[in-house]
Amino acid sequence: MFDVVIIGAGPAGASAALFTAKAGKKTLVVDNDKSITKRAWIENHYGVKEVTGPALVETGKEQAKKFGAEIVQATVTNISKTENGFRVESDQNQYEAKHVIVATGMMADLAETVGLKTKPGTEPRIKTILDVDAAGKTNIQGIWAAGTIAGVSMHTIITAGDGAKVAINVISEINGERYVDHDILKS
Ligand SMILES: Cc1cc2nc3c(=O)[nH]c(=O)nc-3n(C[C@H](O)[C@H](O)[C@H](O)COP(=O)(O)OP(=O)(O)OC[C@H]3O[C@@H](n4cnc5c(N)ncnc54)[C@H](O)[C@@H]3O)c2cc1C
């Protein structure tokens, strides 16, 4: 049983995984390696002068793994409710999760299969997004969404930030109190 299964390892998903794993939550990321970010050349990500999309995505996954997140390559085909949480089915395996974060970028097909409430996208070239509240909650309790699929502006700093925001909300809900992750510079 994973505390959190995250679908998608782009900036939104890997950023969420970094936070949940660092908070000690058993975290799995399932990704099918179709991140649109891999086509980008990026000069507008605060704190990073310039970076290729593939390098940003790879570093994000390495950061999440460093804190204990597991990352597997597979396509998630369904999410169904169980007694204690959710069953996440992929073309390779199936996993049990207490919480699920959908971070599938421009891909809304899985969300539609699962019965998550969608609405028309507002960003250029984004047809369909999930109907989420300010915390990132979908219409199914325990399933959250972050990044492009959650309708935020399609920029790496924003999708990564949204993944972090949603992860902090998930961690806070699991812990029963607001969570903050601050490391202090050693003098
Ligand atoms: C050509 C191009 C140039 C860009 N240039 C810039 C730029 O200069 N600056 C900037 O800030 N932004 C840029 N962007 C935008 C930026 O890449 C995106 O806005 C943002 O990073 C998307 O992050 P995401 O995590 O939401 O989605 P993605 O990075 O697309 O990640 C989604 C992940 O979910 C996975 N996935 C989807 N469905 C499933 C499933 N069913 N099962 C398993 N895995 C699944 C995919 O494989 C993918 O890895 C550019 C985009 C493009 C296309």
Ligand 1 atom nearest the C-alpha of 110 is: 41
Q: How many domains in the chain? A: 1
Ligand 1 centroid–CA 83 distance in Å is 33
Give pLDDT, residue 130.
98
Does the beta carbon of 156 lie inside 6 Å of ligand 1?
yes
The DSSP code for 147 is: G
Does the beta carbon of 44 lie inside 6 Å of ligand 1?
yes
Judge whether 64 lies within some domain: yes
Judge whether 183 lies within some domain: no
Ligand 1 centroid–CA 161 distance in Å is 13
pLDDT digits (tens, 9 = 90+) for 15-31: 999 999 999 999 999 99
Residue 77 near residue 30 (C-beta atoms within 8 A): no
Judge whether 181 lies within some domain: no
Percent of the chain with pLDDT over 70: 100
Judge whether 154 lies within some domain: yes
- State mean pLDDT over 73-92: 97
| Angle ∠(19,50,182) on CA atoms, nearest 5 | 25
Does the beta carbon of 30 lie inside 6 Å of ligand 1?
yes
- State mean pLDDT over 118-147: 97
Give pLDDT, residue 73.
98
Give pLDDT, residue 81.
97
Does the beta carbon of 105 lie inside 6 Å of ligand 1?
yes
Predicted confidence (pLDDT) at residue 187 exceeds the cutoff of 90: no
Ligand 1 centroid–CA 34 distance in Å is 8
Predicted confidence (pLDDT) at residue 7 exceeds the cutoff of 90: yes
Ligand 1 centroid–CA 74 distance in Å is 17
Boundaries of domain holding 136 = 2-175
Give me the CATH number covering residue 75: 3.50.50.60
pLDDT digits (tens, 9 = 90+) for 37-70: 999 999 999 999 999 999 999 999 999 999 999 9
Alpha carbon of residue 52 to chain centroid: 20
Contacts of 125 (CB under 8 A, 6+ apart): 106
The DSSP code for 103 is: -
- State mean pLDDT over 150-158: 98
Ligand 1 centroid–CA 87 distance in Å is 25
Mean pLDDT (the chain, rounded)? 97
Structure tokens at 88: 């996440």
**Which residue is closest in CA terms to ligand 1's atom 39?**
104
Residue among 39, 149, 152, 154 to mutate when testing ligand 1 (max atoms within 8 A of CB): 154
Give pLDDT, residue 162.
98
Predicted confidence (pLDDT) at residue 184 exceeds the cutoff of 90: yes
How far apart (Å, rounded) are the C-alpha atoms in residues 72 and 66? Answer: 15
- State mean pLDDT over 99-126: 96
Structure tokens at 112: 């539609």
Judge whether 30 lies within some domain: yes
